[in-house]
Structures are given as structure tokens and as C-alpha cells.
Amino acid sequence: MPKISKEKAEFKIVDAFNGLEIVDADYQEQTFSKHVHEGYTIGVIDKGAQRFYRSGNTHIADEDSMILVNADDVHTGESATLGGWRYRAMYPHPSHFESITHDLYDGKLHAPYFSNAVIKDPQLSEQLRLLFAQIDSHASKLLIETILYSIMMNMTLRHSSTRDIPCDLSGSKQRLLLVKEYLDAYPQEDVSLVTLSTMAGLSQFHFIRQFKKQFHMAPHSYQIQVRLKKAKALLMLGIKPVEVAIDCGFHDQSHFNRHFKRSMGTSPSKFQKQAVLYKMI
């Protein structure tokens, strides 16, 4: 009988920041020879441990630790335990990080260098896992890009060789109101973070921070609330929940149901029956 391989590697390109490659891998006997990527490798170990060469030394990343490989760094990879290792990783391009440093360092474009190949940062690990979970659940582009932007910003501030503190920004209330009005008018649109920050005349970093300060929620959270507001109106007109989900920009019925129940405390179908019955009475 031929030996059945237990190796797993699923790659996909996410529609965020002009394309982001991610991988979900579970390796038992896989060995990577020396190679490079044009993008950074940022991963989190879910189980087991990985041994790899990078920057002249051999490193071991165990469970819940993060792997950092700079763009064009020569590196390898193999299991450091008998059971192999499982991890999820993303491969942002240097240009993705340049947008971060442009926001942080007075308009200077700089792709950061991460000197540590393995880090223990529970908050970043959880953020990275949250990103993958939202990708798996087909979250909106705005939410995925917001989480991704936060991860890269925090990594740059905490773990790169440059640690300047960004200056504050004020006087943008009117431009933020224009963005809010746009989200109100087009709740179903899968708008990007870049589009909204450009509309506000702010960098992406400052846009997220200023929007949350002004409206007490992140842009993607506000977008969800606007979508739910439209959904309630459509449900009250008697439109089927499955059609409402699509019309309001939700990926699918379960995604719509989850957000609706979190906001309203009931399902869309129950809300519709009760609301329509109330109107009839």
C-alpha cells in the first residue's frame, strides 16, 4: 500500500491591499531548502514547532510564537518535533509596509527590517489569528484591511529597527463626515480602506484612528451598522432575508444572521415576522 501523505498546504490570494497571499499549512515531514520570498513571511505556530535558518542562525518557533522573515531573506524550514508543525502565515509585500512607514515617519518610505526571527507577542498573535478567521468567514474588505493594517503598524512600532512615534492629527471632522455620509449612502459597497482614507484626505493610520475617535467605532463596525439599518428597512418591506443579505452587502445568509442577532437580539426572519405583523395590526 502506498504511504498516504499527511502534508497540507492551502494557499489563497485575499482581495486586500491589491492582493495578499496567505497559507494554511500542516506539515509532518516537509523540509524546505534555502529559498526566498519577495514578500515578508509573518506566521503564527498553532501546534508543534518549526526549526528554520534565517539571518545566519538557526531558530526554533514553538506553539503560539510568531515567525518573522524579511523580504528576500534566505531561509529554510523543517519540523522541530516528531509530530510536525501547523501554522498560518501571510506574505505582505514591502510596498504594504511602505504605506505604514509613510504614515508613521513623516512621509518617508521605508520597508522595515525585523531583526528577531521569532517573537512572543500574544496580542499580535491573536490579531493575526483574528485576521485569518475573518478571511475564512469572508468578512468585508474594509474589516480585513483594517485588521491587517493594525497588525503591520503594531509590528513596525514594536519589532522593527525604527520606532518613531507618529504625530497627532486634528481638524479633520468635516472630511470624516463626508466618509460617514458615503457609507450611509452606499452600505452595500465593498469599499476599501484606501478609498475611504483618500476620501478623507488622511493617511490610512490617521483615518482609522480619527474615525473611531469621532464616531466611537471603527470604520468597518460603522459599515456593519449601516448595513443592518438598511436590512431592517428591507425586512419590514417583506423582502426575503436571503435577498436582504445580498442587497446589503453581506457575504452570505449566515454572516448576515450572525451580525443581525448580535445587534438586534433576534434573527432576521423572526424580526421580519414580528415587524410585518406589527405593521398589519
Describe the crossing of helices 204-215 and 173-185 by its angle, rounded to 10 degrees: 80
pLDDT at position 1 = 46
Residue-wise pLDDT for 180-203, tens only, equals 999 999 999 999 999 999 999 998
pLDDT at position 163 = 45
pLDDT at position 169 = 44
Residue-wise pLDDT for 53-93, tens only, equals 998 899 999 999 999 999 888 889 999 999 999 999 999 99
For the chain, the three-class secondary structure string (H helix, E strand, C coil) is CCCCCCCEEEEEEECCCCCEEEEEEEECCCEEEEECCCCCEEEEEEEECEEEEECCEEEEECCCCEEEECCCCCEEEEECCCCCEEEEEEECCHHHHHHHHHHHCCCCCCCCCECCCEECCHHHHHHHHHHHHHHHCCCCHHHHHHHHHHHHHHHHHHHECCCCCCCCCCCCHHHHHHHHHHHHHCCCCCCCHHHHHHHHCCCHHHHHHHHHHHHCCCHHHHHHHHHHHHHHHHHHCCCCHHHHHHHCCCCCHHHHHHHHHHHHCCCHHHHHHHHHHHHHC
pLDDT at position 144 = 94
- Burial status of residue 13 (CB atoms within 10 A of its CB: 0-12, 13-18, 19 or more): exposed
- Domains annotated on the chain, with CATH: 8-161 (2.60.120.280), 171-275 (1.10.10.60)
Residue segments in the chain with a per-residue pLDDT below the cut of 50: 1-3, 163-170, 280-281
